């Protein structure tokens, strides 16, 4: 009720000075509120900056722990023939110097070759295809989409090999060794020759359930002529859109250790596949694990 105590009618001078005092007090209160706001704001801002710095630092540690590698590929590494294959690929990095981050520990980027064996006890959840074939369940949808798209173009791709158990791989390798030995090679020579075409047990991507041999229904030979089929031409051009790469290109045999296989496709995920096919590199190069010859 104090507000009503002084009125202009009773004592105008007193009223005026009281109003002045009240305005001054109100201004003081406003200024104090602003100072508190500014102070609180600064504290919050400082806290945010400190937290962000800490978070970024710990994220970097995780990145290192996961063996993420930053790879810089220059135009010198780009192979022209492979570039043609992915000429229609509008996604991915489109410059002479492509820079990308790789999580080498990702399940889809696991490297298996003569010096990188399938990890002991590697287990995979399989999805069965027709004709007794099977693949890692995680790639099934992309594989189906790719084959459906090819069929939509009037093509008839046929999967002739997919997941192989260690036992199956051993049998295949031994068959090849026996054949070479029957042609007069020593066991050692026979194994060496066999390894160019059939990966020795423990070194085959087929054991991962991430690799497939796909041929044309009209020509099922596993030889260089396979690349001339309409199915291979389509697959080489479009496989990356579905996360697959042509794993053993003709000009990368010295790095992969495997002869040209224009039928062997490996799932690496869409991001990696587009980069690999676009740049015409092989998985070893992409992962920076190429042997330095």
Known catalytic residues are: 261
- Alpha carbons 83 and 285: distance in angstroms, whole number: 16
Both structure tokens of 140: 């099934």
Both structure tokens of 135: 């693949």
Question: To the nearest whole angstrom, how small is the minimum distance from the Cβ of residue 226 to Zn ion?
Answer: 12
Task: Pick between residue 69 and residue 170 the one whose CB is nearest to Zn ion.
Answer: 170
Task: Pick between residue 73 and residue 284 the one whose CB is nearest to Zn ion.
Answer: 284
Question: To the nearest whole angstrom, how small is the minimum distance from the Cβ of residue 142 to Zn ion?
Answer: 17
Question: To the nearest whole angstrom, how small is the minimum distance from the Cβ of residue 211 to Zn ion?
Answer: 5
For 167, residues 6+ apart whose C-beta sits below 8 A from its C-beta are: none
> In degrees to the nearest 10, what's the CA dihedral of 229, 232, 235, 238?
-70
Binding-site string for Zn ion from residue 49 to residue 68, where x marks contact by CB under 5 A and - marks none? --------------------
Task: Pick between residue 264 and residue 271 the one whose CB is nearest to Zn ion.
Answer: 264
Query: Interacting stretch for Zn ion, rule CB under 5 A, among 1-9, 10-18, 207-215, 280-288?
Result: 207-215
The answer to whether the CB of 239 falls within 8 A of the CB of 246 is: yes
- Alpha carbons 170 and 155: distance in angstroms, whole number: 33
Query: Interacting stretch for Zn ion, rule CB under 5 A, among 1-9, 35-43, 94-102, 259-267?
Result: 259-267
The answer to whether the CB of 81 falls within 8 A of the CB of 117 is: no
Question: To the nearest whole angstrom, how small is the minimum distance from the Cβ of residue 207 to Zn ion?
Answer: 11
Query: Interacting stretch for Zn ion, rule CB under 5 A, among 25-33, 189-197, 205-213, 268-276?
Result: 205-213
Return the SS3 of 104.
Answer: coil
Task: Pick between residue 98 and residue 172 the one whose CB is nearest to Zn ion.
Answer: 172
Question: To the nearest whole angstrom, how small is the minimum distance from the Cβ of residue 233 to Zn ion?
Answer: 19
Nearest to Zn ion by Cβ — which residue? 264
Q: Which of 209, 131, 199 is nearest to 170 (CA)?
A: 199
Question: To the nearest whole angstrom, how small is the minimum distance from the Cβ of residue 213 to Zn ion?
Answer: 4
- Alpha carbons 162 and 209: distance in angstroms, whole number: 6
Task: Pick between residue 185 and residue 222 the one whose CB is nearest to Zn ion.
Answer: 222
Q: Where are the beta strands (DSSP E) in 130-189?
A: 134-136, 157-161
Whether the CA torsion 181, 187, 193, 195 is positive or negative: it is: positive
Query: Interacting stretch for Zn ion, rule CB under 5 A, among 63-71, 140-148, 256-264, 281-289?
Result: 256-264
Task: Pick between residue 71 and residue 164 the one whose CB is nearest to Zn ion.
Answer: 164
Q: Is 213 in the site for Zn ion (CB under 5 A)?
A: yes
Residue among 264, 266, 271, 278 that touches Zn ion (CB under 5 A): 264
Helices of type H across the chain: 12-65, 80-85, 140-152, 166-182, 187-197, 230-238, 253-256, 270-279, 283-286
- CA-based radius of gyration for the chain: 33
Residues that bind Zn ion (CB under 5 A): 213, 264
């Amino acid at each position: 009720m104090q507000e009503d105590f002084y009125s202009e009618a009773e004592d105008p001078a007193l009223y005026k000075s009281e109003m002045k005092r009240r305005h001054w007090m109100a201004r003081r209160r406003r200024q104090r509120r602003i100072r508190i706001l500014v102070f609180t704001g600064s504290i919050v801002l400082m806290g945010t900056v400190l937290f962000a710095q800490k978070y970024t630092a710990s994220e970097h540690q995780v990145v290192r722990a996961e063996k993420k590698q930053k790879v810089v590929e220059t135009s010198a590494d780009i192979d022209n023939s492979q570039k043609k294959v992915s000429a229609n690929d509008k996604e991915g990095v489109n410059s002479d110097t492509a820079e990308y981050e790789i999580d080498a520990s990702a399940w889809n980027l696991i490297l298996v070759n003569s010096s990188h064996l399938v990890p002991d006890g590697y287990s995979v959840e399989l999805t069965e295809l027709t004709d007794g074939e099977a693949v890692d369940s995680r790639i099934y949808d992309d594989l189906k989409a790719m084959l459906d798209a090819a069929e939509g173009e009037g093509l008839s791709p046929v999967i002739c090999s997919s997941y192989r158990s260690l036992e199956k791989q051993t049998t295949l390798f031994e068959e090849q060794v026996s054949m070479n030995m029957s042609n007069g090679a020593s066991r050692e020579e026979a194994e060496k020759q066999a390894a160019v075409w059939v990966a020795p047990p423990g070194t085959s991507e087929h054991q991962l359930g991430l690799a497939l041999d796909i041929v044309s229904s009209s020509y099922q030979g596993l030889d260089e002529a396979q690349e001339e089929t309409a199915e291979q031409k389509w697959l080489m051009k479009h496989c990356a859109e579905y996360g697959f790469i042509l794993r053993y290109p003709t000009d990368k045999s010295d790095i992969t250790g495997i002869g040209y296989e224009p039928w062997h496709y490996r799932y690496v995920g869409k991001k990696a596949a587009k980069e690999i096919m676009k740049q015409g590199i092989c998985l070893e190069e992409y992962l920076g694990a190429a042997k330095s010859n």
